[in-house]
Amino acid sequence: MRDRIHSQVAFHCEFMTLPTMRKFLPMLLCLSGIASAQQIKVEDIYAKYCSGCHGAKFEGGQGGILVDGVWKHGSTDAEIAKTITKGNLQLGMVPWEGILTGDQIRSLVIFLREKEKQTLAKGMSFPKPSPDKVTKTELHDYRIETLVESGIKDPWAIAFLPDGRKLLTEKSGRLRFITADGKLDPKEIEGIPAVIEHGQGGLMEVAVHPDYAKNGWVYLGLSDGTREKREGGKDEVRCITAVVRGKIKGHKWTEQEWIYRPDPKFRSGAGVHFGTRFVFDKGYIYFVIGERGGLMEVQDLSLPNGKIHRLHDDGRVPADNPFVKTKDAIPGIWSYGHRNPQGLAMDARDGTLYSTEHGPRGGDELNLIKPGANYGWPIVTLGMNYDGMPMSYRGPDGKEILSVTEKEGMEEPVAFWLPSIAVCGLDFYTGDKFSKWKNDLLVGALAQQEIRRLRIEDKKVVSQEIILKDIGRVRDVAMGPDGLIYVILNGPDRLVRIVPAGK
């Protein structure tokens, strides 16, 4: 019965004028048993509103196939959204303006892009490297070498020492050496600060000071806080991302100094979105604290979460930071309105700072970071909730407000990924071993298990290529002093490196 009514709706709509269509469509939808779409998930919106013409499995019918990569009326997200919004009566395409909200139409675009990628990926090949073969990409061929494939758990970040050794963090709280010849030192470094491993948090970032050879400073980004045992229940955990530095003598952590340790009142029991990456430049350290699920907290300058911070490398606040004179603002804040950046890198050509930021479903971003700028979360997002509902937040009066895709005064991303790739790890390639990749940005991805190479010109992404795929979740990607590319993988936990073919 419902299928017949859907067909009748489509038949009658084909011969209506646009004003008539808008007048009678709600009634026709009501007769067909389709309830208001305001409170339903995107999968259900598609099933109830779109599948009658385009097929339950997107295979087409009276309407076209939606997952073959062919878009008759424009292939950009904006053009697809316009087609859904305005329809095309001559071709029998119903206009959904006034029936679906802008957020729901955006959710449909995300949903269709996800399904399109899944379908197209079945017939595509990506560079999936293995140690026994050469992997070909557009500009360079390479081999992959496995350095460490056992003895580590949840590795998170890598840093390079002048003597050829590397430092590796494990989320559980272990800091390890990798020897100059690429072997895991079985003895961990003792005496680092207590790490609260909680959800996505733990021991995360590690970096060495640019003048390490002279001063010996090593910096760590970690989840700092307290854990209290509760009889008969879960531990009570309160934590937040902090930055500390120290020196390593033998296998001991010494001369410890806190660079940024947020007041305990800012600690949270949430287990998500700790952020954490470092960039050093001209005596400053830039670092990220994720929003910890706090939504509108990222818009509050009196809170540290959801912010990129900038301090002198000894922890002092620079006098020219954008909010130094703002009442109640945390003076180290450099930019705000961030969700969960887990990539931070600076373009050596012009000193431009970039971050990759986990969005919600369909909302991963590459952002150009400017002092004092607001990056919009959760007021602005290109994504939707993981459950398929439009993204929303609560205003000062407690009422729910739907997020929008753009807003004056809030920065738009340089690039975004739809579907989401789960960005993590970021570095500019500046070496000579892969000369045709010089100054390209390497973007790691967890969910899509890939590394993308982005070419940036005049602060715009002009091309991108997947250069590695499906050998594990890419947690960190970094160029070493030797010009080779080091990759930390989770699932399975490994450290590998990319070397030119023939080397």
Residues with catalytic annotation?
273
Q: How crowded is the C-beta side of 64, counted as CA atoms within 13 Å?
A: 14
What 8-state DSSP symbol labels residue 184?
Answer: B
**And the tokens for 173?**
């709280």
CA distances from 375 to 315, 370, 411, 500 (A): 25, 10, 5, 38
What 8-state DSSP symbol labels residue 79?
Answer: H
What single letter denotes the amino acid at residue 246? G
Neighbours of 293 (CB within 10 A): 17
Cβ-in-10-Å burial (0-12, 13-18, 19+) of 340 comes to buried
Dihedral pair phi/psi, residue 141, rounded to 5°: -100, 145
Residue 225 falls in which region: left (phi positive, over 0), alpha (psi -120 to 50) or beta: left
- Partner residues linked to 421 by β-bridges: none
Task: Compute the CA torsion angle 330, 373, 371, 428 (nearest 10 deg).
Answer: 120
Dihedral pair phi/psi, residue 400, rounded to 5°: -75, 135
Q: What is the CA radius of gyration of the chain?
A: 25
Euclidean distance between CA atoms 177 and 185, whole angstroms: 5
Three-class DSSP labels, 245-296: EEEEECCEEEEEEEEECCCHHHCECCCCCCCCCEEEECCEEEEEECCCCCHH
Closest CA to 271 of 225, 337, 207: 225
Euclidean distance between CA atoms 363 and 442, whole angstroms: 19
